[in-house]
Amino acid sequence: MEATKQGGGILQTIVTDEPHQVERQQHMFECEGLPVQSCAYAWPSRFFDKEEKGGGWEYRDMLLRYRKLEEQSKFLRTNYIDIRYNITTSASGSDGAWTGPDYEAEWHNDNELKDHRGGKIPNHMVYLHLHKVGGTYVRSICAARRGIDKNFVFDTYYNTAQRHMGKEVGRQKLRSLMVEIRDEQKIDDPGVGVVFTFVRDPLERFVSSIGEVKHQGKLGNCTKLIGKELYECGIKRVQDMGTESNIHFKPQIMEIYDILSGIDLRVSLLPMHRLGEFAGKGCLDLSQEAQDPKRKHSWVVDPMSYFDNVMRKEVCQIYAADVTFLSSVGIPSLGCNMTR
C-alpha cells in the first residue's frame, strides 16, 4: 500500500491493488498531511550508521560517551509519555496505568476522535520529552489529564528514582515499549506505533539551557554573570567540560537515540514553534478542558542579541551533531545556517 501526498491537507489518497483509489483520514502526526518543513520523519539509529555527508558516523564517539555515562549513572533518565486509547475503561487503574490482562488484545480497535485540524488521534503514541524543547509544557497539561480522561491512559516515566523503580527495571520497561512500537510500525495500521517529538534550533536551545543551568546554580563561575559575559562564559564551560556536564546540554539527537534504546524506529519530528498546534488545548488535543499553562518571559533584552558571529559559530560547532541531523531530515537550523 502506497500513500501519496495531498498538499498539506488532512485527507490522503491511498494507492492499493484495487482498480480504484480510496481515501482515509490521516492521524495528527503523519508528516504527509502537514506543510513542508513543519514535520519530518527520521530514523535516528540509521543516522549514526551513515558514513557519507549528512550522516552521523563522525558523532558515534559522542554517542558512546553518553552510553557509558548512562551505564555509570544510578538512575535511568529517559523521559517519555506512553499514550493509549482506552478501549476498555475497566482495564485502567486509578492512576491511569493499564492493568487489565485483556487490554493488549483490545486497544488496536479504532477510535473516532479527531484533533482540531480534523486529523485522527492515534490509538497508541509515544511522546519523547527532550530537555528545553517545551517538554515541561506538554508534561504539565498531560498530567492534568492523567486518570481523568476516559478515552486515553497516560503512562509517564521521567525519573526511575521518583517512580520507586530500579534502573534495570526502568530500562527493561523502556526497551519493551520500544520493541512493541517497532512491531506496530511493521503492520499496516497508521493509528499505532506513532512516535513523535518536538525539536528546536540548536542555538535557541543553548540559550534556554544556559538559563536553566544558571537557575540551578550549576554553571560554576558563570552562575553570577549576566548578559553577553554569561553566554561567553557558558560557551567556554561547555567547550571545556563537554555537553555531558549537565543533562540540559545533551544534544537532541543523543536524547532521542537513548529514549528509543537504539532501536530502529520512525519518529515524527516537529519544530518547537508548532507545539501549540498539537498541545495547545488539553493534552495533545485529547481534551478541550485542560488549561494551557501560562508561560512568561522576563527578558528585558532578547538573549540572542548578545551573540556575535563568533559565539554563534562556537555554539553551532558544539551542537554540530544536531545541526547535521536536523539538516538531514529537512528541518533547517536557522540560527546556525546564518553562520555559514
182-219 pLDDT, tens digit per residue, is 999 998 777 889 999 999 999 999 999 999 999 999 99
Kindly indicate the confidence band of residue 122, based on its pLDDT and cuts at 50, 70 and 90. confident
- DSSP lists the bridge partners of residue 267 as 42
pLDDT at residue 321 is higher than 50 = yes
What is the torsional sign of CA 316, 320, 326, 330?
A: positive
Say what angle helices 320-328 and 252-259 make with each other, to 10 degrees. 70
CA distance 286 to 276: 13
C-alpha cell at 276: 501549540
Read off the pLDDT band of 26 (50, 70, 90): confident
The per-residue pLDDT for 226 is: 95
Alpha carbons 192 and 214: distance in angstroms, whole number = 40
> What's the pLDDT score for residue 290?
43
Element (H, E) at 198: strand 194-199
| Residue 269, H or E segment | strand 267-271
CA neighbor of 62 nearest in space, from 258, 212, 331: 258
3-state helix, strand, coil in the chain (%, to 5): 45, 15, 45
DSSP state for residue 217 in the 8-state scheme: T
pTM of the model: 0.82
